[in-house]
Structure 1
Amino acid sequence: MNFSFDVIWHNLPYMLAAARWTLLISVGGMAISLVWGVFLCAARISRGPFLSRIAALYISFFRGVPLLVQLLIFYYMLPHVGLDLPAVAAAILAVGMCSAAYTAEILRGALQTIPRGQTEAALALGIPTLSLWRRILVPQAIRIGLPSLTNELILLVKVSSLASVVGIGELTRISQNITGETYRPLEIYVAAAAIYFLINVILSALGRLAENRLLVG
């Protein structure tokens, strides 16, 4: 059986449409990850032992349990606590909550490179703690940790394929469906791999562009 580009060309529109769900899960998860990761990072390095231990436990749990298991827990648990979310929303939430554990550690490492004198000077000037984090610490931590944050987003694009287990028609799920209809797995999975690769190349380029602009700024 010869490799057929016609099979790819015929099914490419369906696969590109499915890739939108892949991007939505990845970017939506990363947005949650950044916001929640900042709070986790702040709790992790806080002087309060209770907050620090809770954050450390959260990070250990979400880094230690496979994302697939977490996704299934979120999908089946949320209705039991009164949150009947669509599968896509549950997947975005699960991905974001998991990624936040890694983002928190990325930001914590970045914060350790910021001279402590900046924090001491800000507090001496009477700058509130919230403003200190919002205007001084978090922007610098994101700039320092941007390469790692970009890698985290790329990783989310790849792990978004796990969302297929809860019936979301993202790229991997649709590729499996098309393969079942066409019996042409090689062409379809090669096309899927090319789409994933293209998405990640674009994200990497955007990450480098952001890094360069921040360095110039």
Structure 2
Amino acid sequence: MGNSFGLGELGFLIQGLKWTVLLAAIAFIGGGIGGLGVALARTSTSWGLRRAMAGYIAVFQGTPLLMQLFVIYYGLGLIGLTLPAWLAVAIAFTLHASAFLGEIWRGAIEALPKGQFEAARALGLHYVPQMRDVILPQALRIALPATVGFLVQLIKGTSLAAIVGFIELARAGQIVSNQTYAPLFVFTVVGAIYFALCWPLSLYGMHIENRISRTAR
């Protein structure tokens, strides 16, 4: 017989939640920094840079995240570079997020009217102040709903990290389920935690999208 579900088991799930939130935060922040570089490269005047970043995006958008985790964790081990599970999944999720956020933000930059670029050049602004002061603030505002939506997907995607032994919320739920022999109850609790984490973000994304739509009318 397994143990009953109590405060100890709930505490173990909360520990898993902590790692889920931490992994999502690292991936989102690191992916945001990398994604900005990807977006700027994709909209640059350099043909080679645009093609290189297009290939980078194609690799990470065209392959399963699970496979990317395997390659980073096990593939690097084959060449003698063994990483701790948490570091391997952080790198994999950051690279994954940078590709997706880069493409989201690239689309937002290209969605701006050409007049914005022409006005910035007419003011004598060079590339860096042009992007920093004129283009990016507008583009990021347009991209915010999609960015929040990706964050929700990223949080749920952290459950795949269990494949390399990383104990996040879903893996913690599996361990507790095996101990208590109450999978339906345990995963109902796990699902409720994911819902409490993701649903407010989804509502926030929809609120921003509606506000942008009203402003554009």
Please name the residue that 2:187 is paired with: 189
Moved more, 44-53 or 130-139: 130-139
Q: Structure 1 CA distance, aligned partners of 2:118 and 2:24?
A: 37
**Distance in 2 between the 1:56 and 1:67 partners?**
18
Gaps of 5+ in 2: none
1:69 aligns to 2:67 (yes or no) = yes
Match of 1:161 among 141, 159, 167: 159
Structure 1 equivalent of residue 109 of structure 2: 111
1:132-175 deviations in whole A, cap 9, x for unaligned? 22222222111111111011000001110011111111011111
Instruction: Report if aligned partners of 1:38, 1:138 keep a CA contact under 8 Å in 2.
Output: no
Aligned to 1:94: 92
Report deviation, 1:209: 7.0
Structure 1: 5+ residue runs without aligned partners? 1-5
TM-aligned CA distance change 1:149 to 1:7, over 3 Å: same
Q: Distance in 1 between matches of 2:81 and 2:139?
A: 33
SS in 2 for 1:7: coil
Q: Would the alpha carbon gap of residues 150 and 92 (structure 1) be closer, same or farther in structure 2, given more than 3 Å must change?
A: same
After TM superposition, give the deviation of residue 82 of structure 1 in Å: 7.8
TM superposition score normalised by structure 1: 0.86
CA gap 1:193/1:212 in 2 versus in 1, 3 angstroms: same
C-alpha distance in 1, partners of 2:24/2:145?
Answer: 17
Give 1:150's aligned amino acid: V
- Displacement after TM superposition at 1:87 (Å): 1.9
Normalising by structure 2, what TM-score?
0.86
Residue correspondences, number:
211
Q: Name the CA shift for 1:127/1:8 in 2 (closer, same or farther; >3 Å).
A: farther
* Residue 56 of structure 1, CA deviation: 0.7
Once the 2 structures are TM-superposed, how far is the Cα of residue 10 of structure 1 from its aligned partner?
Answer: 5.4
Name the counterpart of 2:13.
15
Post-superposition shift, 1:45? 2.1
> How big is the shift at 1:105?
1.7
Cα separation, partners in 2 of 1:177 and 1:213, compared to 1, 3 Å: same
Equivalent position of 1:37 in the other structure: 35
Distance 1:187 1:88, change over 3 A: same
SS at the partner of 1:90?
A: helix
Decide whether the 8 Å contact of 2:23 with 2:90 is kept in 1: yes
Equivalence for 1:3: none
**Alpha-carbon distance in 1 for matches of 2:208, 2:81:** 36
Given that 2:43 and 2:106 are in contact with CA atoms closer than 8 Å, whether structure 1 keeps it comes out as yes
